Homo-oligomer: A and B are copies of this chain.
Amino acid sequence: MTHPPKRPLTLRDVSEASGVSEMTVSRVLRNKGDVSEATRTKVREAAKRLGYVPNKIAGALASQRVNLVAVIIPSLKNMVFPEVLSGISEVLEDTGLQPVVGVTDYLPEKEEKVLFEMLSWRPSGVIIAGLEHTEASRAMLAQSGIPVVEIMDVDGEPVDTCVGISHRRAGRMMAEAIINAGYRKIGFMGTKMPLDHRARKRFEGFTRTLAKAGIEIADQEFYSGGSALAKGREMTAAMLERSPDLDFLYYSNDMIGAGGLLYLLEQGIDIPGQVGLAAFNGVELLDGLPRQLATMDACRREIGQRAAQVIADRHGGRDTGESVHSLSPTLAYGDTLRRP
């Protein structure tokens, strides 16, 4: 066992150990330029023997190139964003680019801080959730000089490019399906709005479409914090107590919808006869529930893939044409929403 070095090894150490110039060592380690097979192996051996780990900081400064892509999302606990992330990783995997994740907790000021922090590492691109940012954040993005992809949402003006679905349209589609199925007394449950613009837009699309059909939300409740499943259960119980004549419940996310579903089944309520249910996201979790909850797929993985593709293309000098990539969510009726 050799003694752990206080000073990390440098190219110079490998150069001396292998009797080859630093420049050539650098070339070998990056597989760049022509190097004879002989020196190649000599260098590789020395590097491995010493346990050399290159210093990307120095490399990045010298080459003015950083293979990082900043990915800025509101939360990791949401089930939704990990899926977007795997879409991103999947595509970046074979491009030499690497995602680096920053979390904002849905706070605009924290987003600004995280963005500033990440931009100061001079990444090759930014993927950031949502179209709503502070003035300063938008300015930073616009000034950054690197490809910027805003994801999840297309209802608004992107700084550069966006990939997502229209949440207003998603809300509208769901409202139409519910109306067409004959439901009329509709309750809504969701997260507290100011935090989540996409939930807000779905709600807007939803209520406006109902309004056009002369229907008003009969009851509504908003929550924050705690186990979403438990919250869904509690809110549903409370709402049905308060407004026993409701014939439909629309939930802003699948977890609270699942909680509501479990509650209603326990109460022996006829679904979707007496009460219909629908939610939003299409998370995998729903597959294990006693009934298939009606929901709308948010195209999470595909959003991640497309966003990463845009970054990769632009990084490779290819242009991607369109600045708005609008995907189409699909409605799953499941067992809790009557078909028209």
Does A38 sit within 8 A of B, measured CB to CB? no
CA distance A147 to B31 in the complex (A): 31
CA distance A57 to B139 in the complex (A): 21
Partner pick for A60 among B57, B98, B232, B286, CB 8 A cutoff:
B57
Partner pick for A232 among B56, B288, B290, CB 8 A cutoff:
B288
Question: Which chain B positions have C-beta within 8 A of A77?
Answer: 82-83, 86
Question: Which chain B positions have C-beta within 8 A of A142?
Answer: 4
| Contact between chains at B61 and A58 (CB < 8 Å) | yes
CA distance A196 to B190 in the complex (A): 36
| Contact between chains at A121 and B5 (CB < 8 Å) | no
Does A275 sit within 8 A of B, measured CB to CB? no
Does A143 sit within 8 A of B, measured CB to CB? yes
| Contact between chains at A140 and B103 (CB < 8 Å) | no
CA distance A8 to B124 in the complex (A): 13
Question: Which residue from chain B places its CB closest to the CB of A6 in the assembled complex?
Answer: B145
Does A327 sit within 8 A of B, measured CB to CB? no
Does A326 sit within 8 A of B, measured CB to CB? no
Question: Which chain B positions have C-beta within 8 A of A116?
Answer: 53
Shortest distance from the beta carbon of A236 to any chain B beta carbon, whole Å:
11
Question: Which chain B positions have C-beta within 8 A of A51?
Answer: 139-140, 143
Question: Which chain B positions have C-beta within 8 A of A287?
Answer: 226-227, 229-230
Question: Which chain B positions have C-beta within 8 A of A121?
Answer: 56-57
Question: Which chain B positions have C-beta within 8 A of A179?
Answer: none
Shortest distance from the beta carbon of A291 to any chain B beta carbon, whole Å:
10
| Contact between chains at A122 and B57 (CB < 8 Å) | yes
Binding site for B on A (CB under 8 A): 4-8, 51, 53-58, 60-61, 66, 76-77, 82-83, 85-86, 89, 98, 100-101, 103, 116-117, 119-122, 139-140, 142-145, 226-233, 255, 258-259, 262, 266, 284-290
Question: Which chain B positions have C-beta within 8 A of A145?
Answer: 4-8
Can you identify 23 A-B contacts, CB atoms within 8 angstroms? A5-B143, A5-B145, A6-B145, A51-B140, A53-B144, A54-B120, A55-B120, A56-B120, A57-B66, A57-B121, A58-B61, A76-B76, A76-B82, A76-B85, A76-B86, A77-B82, A227-B284, A229-B289, A233-B288, A255-B285, A262-B262, A262-B289, A266-B290
Known: A51-B143, A101-B101. 17 other contacts (CB 8 A): A4-B143, A4-B145, A6-B145, A8-B122, A53-B116, A53-B119, A53-B120, A55-B120, A56-B122, A57-B61, A77-B86, A226-B284, A227-B284, A229-B287, A230-B287, A259-B288, A266-B290
Question: Which chain B positions have C-beta within 8 A of A120?
Answer: 53-56
CA distance A166 to B9 in the complex (A): 36
Question: Which chain B positions have C-beta within 8 A of A259?
Answer: 288
Shortest distance from the beta carbon of A241 to any chain B beta carbon, whole Å:
18
CA distance A53 to B5 in the complex (A): 34
| Contact between chains at A227 and B288 (CB < 8 Å) | yes
| Contact between chains at A285 and B53 (CB < 8 Å) | no
